[in-house]
Chain A
C-alpha cells in the first residue's frame, strides 16, 4: 500500500521572502478587525450584557412562527425581542434586554421571563421551553470582566513560559502572533454577527492554545537549527525550519479540521459559534506561526549562538520524554 504524503519531501518554499507584504496584510487585518469591533460591535450574548435568552422548540411543526411570537412578546410591554432561528427551523431563541431598574431590583428580570414563557405557552400549546437563561446586569458585568482577564492572563502567562523555555524574542514573537489570532477572531464575530457568549471565550482560549502549538513546533525547529547551522543567515534558517515542519503543520491542521467540521454541521446548535471560531482559528493560527511568529525573530535580532551553552545538557523535556524523570 502506498502511503499518503500530503506534502512532498524536501520542500523548499521561500516563505519568508514574502514576509513584508504579508506583515502589512496582517497589520491591516488586525486594524480592520478592531475597527469592525468598534464600529459594528460584537453581538454580545446575555452572558455579557445581561438579559434573557429563552430557547423554544415548536414540537411537530416545521417552522417557528417568528413574527407571531414577536407580536405576542412585544405586546407585554418589555420592548421588542430579538428572535433568531437556533439550530433546526422549528427552534428559535428569543433575546430580551433587561427591564428598566433591574440593576437595583434583580427580580424584575425574572418576572419578565415568567411572563414571556407564560404568554408563549398560552398562545402556542405545542411549544416546548428548552431553556431560560436569565442573567442580571451585575452577574454579566462580572462574567465579562473574568472573561477578559482569563484571555489577558493566558496570553501573558504563555508568553512568559516561552520566554523562559526559549529566549525573550520568542516570547514576544509568540505574544504578537496571539494578539493577531485573537484580533482576527474578534473581527470575524464583528462581521458575521454570531453571538458572542461564554463559550466563545473558551473557543478563543483554545485558539490561543493551538496557535501556540504551531508556533512552538516551528520555534523548536528554529532552536534546533540555530544550534546545528551556526553560520546560516537567519532568514534562510527560518525558511528551512518552516519547510522542515511543513508536513506536520499541514497534517495536524487537517486532522483538527476534520474533527471540527462534523461538530460544525452535526453538533448541537449551542456549540456552532464555538466550533466556527475554532475552525477559523486553526487557519489564522497556522498562518500567524509562519508569518508573524517566525519573521518577528529577524526583526528582534535573534543571535545564532543563543542556545549553544545548553546544547549538551539534556533538558527536562527530554528526560521526561525518555521516561527518566
Chain B
C-alpha cells in the first residue's frame, strides 16, 4: 500500500508535470495574459456565456419540404406527359392531402402515361421515393414514401447548413459553429458577434427568389378577397415596397427560380439612386430568363422574394444578357444582406428562430472576473482550514488540490472542451469534493491512531478504509454528472464536463498522489508518532 517503486514515482511525476503544463495556456487566456505564439497553445474554449456571443437555434418546417416536393413533381409530371409523342392530356390535378393525383383524359393513354411517369417515381437513389397507384382506371395517385420524405428533409437540412455556413463566412464572423441537431434543427453559435440582429436577419432570410408572370385575368375584387383564379396564386407586396399593403395574382407554374445565379451585388438604380441588387444568371439561368422575357414581352412579371412581391415591372423587351436588377424599397443594408444571401444560395426551406441566447462581451468578461475572484477566495480559505486542521498532511492535501485544478484545466484544454459559467461553479464544487477525500483519509488515520495502531498501520488502514467510500461516492457523482451531460443543454453541459473530469483527477491527486508524498515522508523520517 505504501510501497512506491521508482518507476511508478517517475511515471506519476511525469503525468503531473505534463498535465499541469497543458493548463498554462488556458490560465494565460483566462487571466488575459499574452501566450507566446511560438509555444503550443491548447487553451480551453470559453463558452458563449463567458466570451460573449450568440447562440441561435433554428427549426425547419418539415411540411414545407413535402409541399415543395409535390410542386416539383407536379411540374415534372406535366412536362413528361406534354413531351410524350403524342402528348397525353390530363385534368383534375390536385395536390391535396400530401399527394399528387390527376386523371388521364383518355383511358387508352393510361399505359403510356404510366410508362412516362414511372422513371420520376423511382427516383435516382436506391430507395423508392414515391409510390404510384392507378385507381378507377384513369386516376393516377402519387404518394411520397416515408423514406423519400425523410431523405428529402435530410438533404434539405444539409444544404441549409451549407448555405448558412457560406452566409456567415461572407460577413467574416470569427469561428462560427454550425451544427445540425435532430431531424429539423440547426444550431448556430457565433462568439463575440456584436450585432446579433444582423446575424439573425442574415441567416433567417430564406432568399427564395422567383420570377412569375402576373395573372392579368384576375379581378381586383377577387384579389382583395384573396380568391385566386384557377392556376394562380395571390402574393402580398413586401413591406417597404412601392405597393406595400396590396397584393397581386401570379401564375403558379411557368415561372423561373433564382437559383441559377452566379453573382449578386448591391448597387444603385441609375434613375433615382435607390439601393438595388444586381444579379447575374449562369448560362442555364440566363437562357431560361431570356425565354421567359421573350415570350412575354409587354406583360408584367412579379419578382418574388420569400413569398412577398418586391415589384412587378413590365417586360419592355427581351432580356438576353443574363443580368437583372431587383428593386423594391431596399435600404443599402438590406440590399447588401440580400446580395450576400443570394450569392450564398437560397435556403431550401424556411428556418425559424426558436431559441436565442446572446451574451454581451462585457458581461462575459465581468463573469470571468467575478467567478475567478470567488474561486480564488474559496480556495484560499480551504487551504488555510486544511493547514490549521491537519498540519503537514493538510499541506499535502493542498498541493494535491492545486494540482487537481491545473489537471482539470489541462485535460479540458487537450480535449478541446468548453468552459462555461456553470463550469466555473463546477470547479468550486470539485475543489470541495477533492478536499473531502483528504478529510476522509486524514480523519480515518486520526481514528486509527486513537485506537492504538502504529503509525504505518494507521496510515495504511486510513487510506484503505477511506478509499472505499471515496470510490463509491465518486461513482455516484459521475452518474449524476453523466445524466447532466446527456440531458443538459449548452452551459449546463459545461458544468457536467468539469464535474466528470474533476472526479477522475481528484481520485488521482487526492488519493494516489498524497499517498506517494505521505509514504515518502514516512520512509524518510520514520516517525514514532503522527502530528495529525
| A and B: bona fide binding partners | yes
- A-side interface residues toward B, CB under 8 Å? 1, 3-6, 9-10, 55, 57, 105-107, 110, 113-114, 128-136, 138-139, 143, 146-147, 149-150, 153-154, 157-158, 161-162, 165, 198-199, 201-202, 205-206, 208-210, 212-213, 216-217, 220-221, 224, 244-245, 247-248, 251-252, 254-256, 258-263, 265-268, 270-271, 274-275, 278, 315, 317-318, 320-323
Q: Which residues on the B side are within 8 Å of A113 (C-beta)?
A: 356
Given A3-B531, A199-B492, A270-B421, are A131 and B471 also a contact pair (CB < 8 Å)? Answer: no
Distance of B405 from chain A, by nearest CB (Å): 12
Which one of B210-218, B283-291, B341-349, B483-491 contacts A?
B483-491
Contact between A106 and B473 (Cβ–Cβ < 8 Å)?
no
Interface of B is mostly: helix
Which one of B159-167, B237-245, B429-437 contacts A?
B429-437
Contact between A130 and B389 (Cβ–Cβ < 8 Å)?
no
Q: Which residue of B lies closest to A324 (CB)?
A: B1
Contact between A150 and B488 (Cβ–Cβ < 8 Å)?
yes
Task: Pull 13 A–B residue pairs with CB atoms less than 8 Å apart, ordered by A.
Answer: A106-B352, A128-B362, A135-B354, A139-B57, A202-B422, A255-B382, A255-B432, A262-B381, A263-B375, A267-B425, A268-B370, A270-B49, A315-B468
Contact between B425 and A251 (Cβ–Cβ < 8 Å)?
no
Q: Residue B473 contacts which of A10, A135, A217, A278 (CB distance < 8 angstroms)?
A: A217
Contact between B360 and A131 (Cβ–Cβ < 8 Å)?
yes
Q: Residue B429 contacts which of A133, A138, A259 (CB distance < 8 angstroms)?
A: A259
Contact between B473 and A114 (Cβ–Cβ < 8 Å)?
no
- B-side interface residues toward A, CB under 8 Å? 1, 8, 49, 57, 59, 196-197, 200, 204, 352-360, 362-363, 366-367, 370-371, 373-375, 377-379, 381-382, 385-386, 388-391, 421-422, 424-425, 428-429, 431-433, 435-436, 439-440, 443-444, 446-447, 450, 463-465, 467-473, 475-477, 479-481, 483-484, 486-489, 491-492, 495-496, 499, 511-512, 531-532
Contact between B532 and A266 (Cβ–Cβ < 8 Å)?
no
Q: Which residues on the A side are within 8 Å of B450 (C-beta)?
A: 9-10
Distance of A166 from chain B, by nearest CB (Å): 9
Q: Which of B370, B432, B480, B491 has the most CB of A within 10 A?
A: B480
Contact between B373 and A248 (Cβ–Cβ < 8 Å)?
no
Q: Which residues on the A side are within 8 Å of B475 (C-beta)?
A: 161
Q: Residue A4 contacts which of B1, B389, B421 (CB distance < 8 angstroms)?
A: B389
Distance of A175 from chain B, by nearest CB (Å): 12
Contact between A134 and B487 (Cβ–Cβ < 8 Å)?
no
Q: Residue A162 contacts which of B468, B476, B491 (CB distance < 8 angstroms)?
A: B476
Q: Which residue of A lies closest to B431 (CB)?
A: A259
Contact between A139 and B439 (Cβ–Cβ < 8 Å)?
no
Q: Residue B371 contacts which of A57, A267, A322 (CB distance < 8 angstroms)?
A: A267
Contact between A268 and B366 (Cβ–Cβ < 8 Å)?
yes
Q: Which residue of B lies closest to A138 (CB)?
A: B354
Distance of A225 from chain B, by nearest CB (Å): 12
CA distance A318 to B466 in the complex (A): 9
Contact between B385 and A157 (Cβ–Cβ < 8 Å)?
no
Contact between A3 and B389 (Cβ–Cβ < 8 Å)?
yes
Distance of B499 from chain A, by nearest CB (Å): 8
Q: Which residue of A lies closest to B443 (CB)?
A: A248
Contact between B473 and A212 (Cβ–Cβ < 8 Å)?
yes
Contact between B373 and A266 (Cβ–Cβ < 8 Å)?
yes
Beyond the given A202-B422, A251-B443, A256-B436, please list 13 additional residue pairs across the A-B interface where CB-CB is below 8 A.
A4-B388, A57-B363, A129-B360, A131-B357, A131-B363, A134-B356, A150-B483, A202-B492, A209-B476, A255-B435, A259-B431, A317-B468, A321-B470
Q: Residue B480 contacts which of A149, A158, A256, A263 (CB distance < 8 angstroms)?
A: A158
Distance of B235 from chain A, by nearest CB (Å): 19
Contact between A199 and B363 (Cβ–Cβ < 8 Å)?
no
Contact between B479 and A161 (Cβ–Cβ < 8 Å)?
yes
Q: Which residues on the A side are within 8 Å of B446 (C-beta)?
A: 247
CA distance A313 to B499 in the complex (A): 31
Q: Which residues on the B side are within 8 Å of A315 (C-beta)?
A: 468
Given A3-B391, A107-B353, A318-B467, are A216 and B473 also a contact pair (CB < 8 Å)? Answer: yes
Interface of A is mostly: helix
CA distance A258 to B439 in the complex (A): 15
Distance of B440 from chain A, by nearest CB (Å): 5
Contact between B440 and A217 (Cβ–Cβ < 8 Å)?
yes
Distance of A289 from chain B, by nearest CB (Å): 11
Contact between B492 and A153 (Cβ–Cβ < 8 Å)?
no
CA distance A317 to B356 in the complex (A): 45
Given A130-B363, A266-B377, A271-B421, are A110 and B432 also a contact pair (CB < 8 Å)? Answer: no
Q: Residue A267 contacts which of B59, B359, B370 (CB distance < 8 angstroms)?
A: B370
Given A3-B388, A260-B378, A266-B374, are A147 and B436 also a contact pair (CB < 8 Å)? Answer: no
Distance of B64 from chain A, by nearest CB (Å): 14
Contact between A210 and B433 (Cβ–Cβ < 8 Å)?
yes
Given A220-B468, A322-B1, are A259 and B382 also a contact pair (CB < 8 Å)? Answer: yes
Given A128-B360, A131-B363, A268-B366, are A262 and B473 also a contact pair (CB < 8 Å)? Answer: no
CA distance A165 to B158 in the complex (A): 47
CA distance A251 to B379 in the complex (A): 15
CA distance A262 to B390 in the complex (A): 23
CA distance A293 to B471 in the complex (A): 19
Contact between B489 and A198 (Cβ–Cβ < 8 Å)?
yes
Q: Which residues on the A side are within 8 Å of B429 (C-beta)?
A: 206, 210, 256, 259, 278
Q: Which residues on the B side are within 8 Å of A150 (C-beta)?
A: 483-484, 486-488
Q: Which residues on the A side are within 8 Å of B487 (C-beta)?
A: 146-147, 149-150, 153
Distance of B530 from chain A, by nearest CB (Å): 11
Q: Which residues on the A side are within 8 Å of B355 (C-beta)?
A: 134-136, 139
Contact between A220 and B469 (Cβ–Cβ < 8 Å)?
yes
Q: Which residues on the A side are within 8 Å of B531 (C-beta)?
A: 3
Contact between A202 and B484 (Cβ–Cβ < 8 Å)?
yes
Q: Which residues on the B side are within 8 Å of A254 (C-beta)?
A: 385
Q: Which residues on the B side are within 8 Å of A213 (C-beta)?
A: 433, 436, 473, 476-477
Contact between B472 and A216 (Cβ–Cβ < 8 Å)?
yes
Distance of A223 from chain B, by nearest CB (Å): 9
CA distance A107 to B481 in the complex (A): 34
Distance of A61 from chain B, by nearest CB (Å): 15
Q: Which residues on the A side are within 8 Å of B486 (C-beta)?
A: 150
Q: Which residue of B lies closest to A133 (CB)?
A: B357
Q: Which residues on the A side are within 8 Å of B371 (C-beta)?
A: 263, 267-268, 271
Contact between A130 and B424 (Cβ–Cβ < 8 Å)?
no
Contact between A252 and B439 (Cβ–Cβ < 8 Å)?
yes
Q: Which residues on the B side are within 8 Å of A114 (C-beta)?
A: 197
Contact between A216 and B488 (Cβ–Cβ < 8 Å)?
no
Given A278-B429, A317-B468, are A258 and B378 also a contact pair (CB < 8 Å)? Answer: yes
Given A55-B363, A206-B480, are A6 and B467 also a contact pair (CB < 8 Å)? Answer: no
Q: Which residues on the A side are within 8 Å of B374 (C-beta)?
A: 262-263, 265-267
Given A4-B388, A129-B360, are A248 and B439 also a contact pair (CB < 8 Å)? Answer: yes
